[in-house]
C-alpha cells in the first residue's frame, strides 16, 4: 500500500512540463518599433540629402532652417522610439529572468521527486514485493487493475524523466534568449547614445544658422510677407472656385427636385385617364413619397460602419462614391512628387529667437525644379489658377479638395476628369530659388487639414 500511496502523491507533478508551454511568446511590439525607426531614419536621410543639395547653391535660405527643424523633430521621434525599444528589451530581460527562476524551481522539484521515486523503486525492487502486491488483490479483476497500475507507474517514471529533460532544455533556451536580449540591449543603447550626440550637433547647427539669419532678418521678413500675400491670393481663388461649384451643385439639385416633382405630378393625371374613380387618384397623389423632394443630406451610413454627414457635393452617387473612396484612402494616398522632403509643415512655423513666422495651410515639399507633379486621387479639376509668380490647380474629390501650388506650368484643364497619378504640372522655383511645391487637403467642411495625415509613409 505504501507503493500505491507514494505513486498517487507523485502523479500530480505530471503536467508540470505542459504548464511551461506558451510562456516564452514574444509580442510583436519590438518589430513594430524597429519598423518605425527604420522609416524615421529614412526620412532623416532624405532630409540630409535635400539639405546637401540646397547648400550646393551656397545661398542661405529659410528652407535650410526649416529642414534642420524638421530633422530635429524627426530625430527626437526616433530617439523616443529607441527608448521604447529599450524599455521593451528591459521588460523582456526581466520576464526571461522570472521564467528562468520559475523553471529552476520546477526542475529542482522534479529532480527531488524523481530521486525519491528511484530510491523507493530500488528498495522495493524484489519480486516478493511485486507478487505480494498482486496476490493481495481481492479478485481477478482487482489483480488486473493492479498490473495496469504498475505498468502505468513505470511509464510515469519514464515520462517524468522526459519532463526533467524538457524542462532543463526550456531553461537553457530561456537563458540563451535572455543573453540575446542583453546583447541587443547593448546595441540599442549604443544607437541611442549616438543619436543623442547627433541630436546635440543638429541643435548647435540650427543655432548657428539662426544666428546667421538674424543679420538678414529684414530681408527674410520681406520674403515671408510676399509668401503671405500669395497665400491670401490663393485662398481667395480657392474660395471663389468652391463657391462657384457649390452654386452649380445646388442648381443641379434644384433641377433634379423640380424634375422629380413634375414626374410625380404626371402620375395622378395618367391614372385619372385610365380609371373611373377620381377619389382614388386624389389619394394616390396625396400619398406620393416626399423623400424624392428632399436633397440627400444628413447622417448616412458609410463604409466601416461609421456615420458621416453628406454635403451638397454628394447629392449624386458619383459624388458620394468619390468622397468615400478618398476617405478610405486616408494615410495611403500617394505623394504628389517622387522624392523630396517636407520643408514646410502644416500650421504655424516659427524660427526660434527671431521674428520669422509663417502660417501654412498645407505642406511644402522640396523637389527638383521641373519635377512632375501628379494627382493623388481620382477627381475633377475645378480650377486652374494663375497666381502671378506661380500656377495652382484645385481638384475636387466629392466633398474633399486637393490643391497643387507653385507650379511652373499646368497639364490639365478645368472640368477634366483625372485619376490618381495623372500629371498635373511641373514644379517651379520658389522665391528662394529652390524647387518646391505646396500641397493642401480640404475636408468636407472646406477647412484645410494636415496633408501628412492623408499621405502614405515613405
Mean pLDDT in runs of 10 for the chain (458 residues)? 43 42 51 84 83 69 79 89 88 88 84 75 58 66 71 69 82 86 88 89 83 74 84 91 88 83 74 49 36 35 48 83 91 90 86 80 91 94 90 94 95 94 93 86 90 88
* Radius of gyration from C-alpha coordinates of the chain: 38
278 and 347 fall within a common domain: no
Q: Is residue 174 part of a domain?
A: yes
| Element of type H or E holding 441 | strand 435-442
Same-domain check for residues 96 and 123: yes
d(CA 241, CA 235): 10
* Rounded distance between C-alpha atoms, residue 148 and residue 158, angstroms: 15
Q: How far apart are CA 50 and CA 364, in angstroms?
A: 13
With respect to residue 225, please indicate whether it lies within any of the assigned structural domains.
no
* Same domain assignment for residues 199 and 265: no
pLDDT for residue 177: 86
Last residue of a domain, one of 274, 295, 328: 328
413: left (phi over 0), alpha (psi -120 to 50) or beta: beta
Domain-embedded: residue 131: yes
Report the b/e string of 398-430 with b at 16+ CB within 10 A: bbbbbbbbbbbebbbeeeeebeeebebbbbbeb
β strands within 126-231, DSSP E: none
Same domain, 197 and 275: no
Give the C-alpha separation, 194 to 41, whole Å: 13
Residues in the chain: 458
Whether residue 166 is contained in a domain is answered as yes
122 and 197 inside one domain: yes
Do both 249 and 395 map to the same domain? no
The answer to whether 228 touches 358, Cβ cutoff 8 Å, is yes
Q: Supply the pLDDT for residue 399.
A: 92
What pLDDT is attached to residue 301? 34
Residue 131: the pLDDT is: 59
Closest C-alpha to 198, from 57, 47, 61 = 47
400 with 310, same domain: the answer is no
Domain assignment of residue 304, yes or no: yes
Q: How far apart are CA 373 and CA 381, in angstroms?
A: 14
pLDDT at site 354: 75
Same domain, 352 and 442: yes
Structural domain including 289 reads 239-328
**Which residue is listed with cell 495496469?**
148
User: What local confidence, expressed as pLDDT, does residue 23 receive?
Assistant: 44
What's the pLDDT at 157? 67
| Residue 340, C-alpha cell as written in the block | 523630396
Structural domain total, the chain: 3
Q: Which three cell numbers stand for residue 171?
A: 531553461
Residue 407, all three cell numbers: 507650379
Identify the burial level of 160 via C-beta atoms within 10 angstroms of its C-beta, where 0-12 means exposed, 13-18 middle and 19 or more buried. Answer: buried
Together in a domain, 414 and 310: no
Q: How far apart are CA 378 and CA 358, in angstroms?
A: 31
- Same domain for 9 and 45? yes
Do residues 319 and 441 both lie within one domain? no
The phi, psi pair for 386, rounded to 5°, reads -95, 110
Question: Euclidean distance between the first and final Cα of the chain, in Å?
Answer: 74
Instruction: Output the pLDDT for position 2.
Output: 45
pLDDT at 126: 55
Looking at the structure, tell me whether residues 265 and 182 fall in a common domain.
Answer: no
Amino acid at each position: 500500500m505504501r507503493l500505491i500511496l507514494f505513486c498517487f502523491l507523485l502523479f500530480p507533478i505530471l503536467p508540470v512540463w505542459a504548464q511551461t508551454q506558451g510562456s516564452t511568446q514574444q509580442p510583436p511590439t519590438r518589430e513594430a518599433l524597429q519598423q518605425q525607426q527604420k522609416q524615421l531614419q529614412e526620412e532623416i536621410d532624405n532630409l540630409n540629402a535635400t539639405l546637401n543639395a540646397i547648400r550646393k547653391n551656397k545661398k542661405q535660405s529659410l528652407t535650410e532652417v526649416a529642414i534642420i527643424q524638421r530633422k530635429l523633430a524627426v530625430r527626437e521621434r526616433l530617439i523616443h522610439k529607441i527608448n521604447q525599444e529599450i524599455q521593451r528589451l528591459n521588460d523582456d530581460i526581466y520576464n526571461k529572468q522570472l521564467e528562468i527562476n520559475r523553471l529552476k524551481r520546477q526542475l529542482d522539484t522534479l529532480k527531488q521527486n524523481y530521486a525519491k521515486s528511484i530510491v523507493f523503486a530500488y528498495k522495493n525492487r524484489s519480486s516478493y514485493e511485486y507478487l505480494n502486491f498482486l496476490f493481495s488483490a481481492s479478485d481477478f479483476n482487482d489483480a488486473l487493475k493492479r498490473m495496469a497500475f504498475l505498468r502505468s507507474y513505470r511509464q510515469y517514471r519514464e515520462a517524468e524523466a522526459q519532463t526533467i529533460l524538457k524542462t532543463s532544455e526550456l531553461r537553457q533556451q530561456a537563458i540563451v534568449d535572455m543573453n540575446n536580449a542583453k546583447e541587443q540591449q547593448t546595441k540599442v543603447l549604443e544607437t541611442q547614445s549616438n543619436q543623442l550626440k547627433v541630436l546635440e550637433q543638429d541643435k548647435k547647427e540650427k543655432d548657428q544658422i539662426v544666428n546667421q539669419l538674424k543679420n538678414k532678418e529684414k530681408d527674410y521678413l520681406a520674403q515671408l510677407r510676399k509668401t503671405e500675400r500669395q497665400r491670401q491670393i490663393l485662398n481667395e481663388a480657392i474660395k471663389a472656385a468652391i463657391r462657384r461649384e457649390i452654386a452649380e451643385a445646388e442648381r443641379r439639385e434644384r433641377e433634379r427636385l423640380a424634375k422629380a416633382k413634375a414626374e410625380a405630378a404626371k402620375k395622378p393625371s395618367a391614372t385619372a385617364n385610365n380609371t373611373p374613380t377620381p377619389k382614388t387618384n386624389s389619394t394616390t397623389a396625396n400619398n406620393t413619397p416626399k423623400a424624392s423632394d428632399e436633397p440627400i443630406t444628413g447622417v448616412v451610413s458609410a463604409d466601416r460602419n461609421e456615420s458621416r454627414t453628406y454635403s451638397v457635393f454628394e447629392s449624386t452617387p458619383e459624388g458620394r462614391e468619390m468622397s468615400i473612396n478618398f476617405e478610405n484612402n486616408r494615410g495611403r494616398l500617394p505623394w504628389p512628387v517622387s522624392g523630396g522632403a517636407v520643408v514646410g509643415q502644416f500650421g504655424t512655423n516659427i524660427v526660434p529667437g527671431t521674428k520669422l513666422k509663417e502660417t501654412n495651410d498645407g505642406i511644402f515639399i522640396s523637389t527638383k525644379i521641373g519635377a512632375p507633379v501628379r494627382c493623388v486621387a481620382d477627381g475633377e479639376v475645378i480650377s486652374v489658377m494663375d497666381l502671378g509668380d506661380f500656377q495652382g490647380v484645385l481638384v475636387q474629390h466629392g466633398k474633399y479638395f486637393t490643391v497643387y501650388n507653385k507650379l511652373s506650368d499646368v497639364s490639365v484643364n478645368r472640368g477634366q476628369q483625372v485619376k490618381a497619378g495623372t500629371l498635373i504640372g511641373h514644379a517651379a522655383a520658389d522665391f528662394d530659388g529652390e524647387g518646391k511645391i505646396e500641397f493642401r487637403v480640404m475636408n468636407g467642411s472646406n477647412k484645410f487639414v494636415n496633408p501628412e495625415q492623408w499621405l502614405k509613409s515613405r
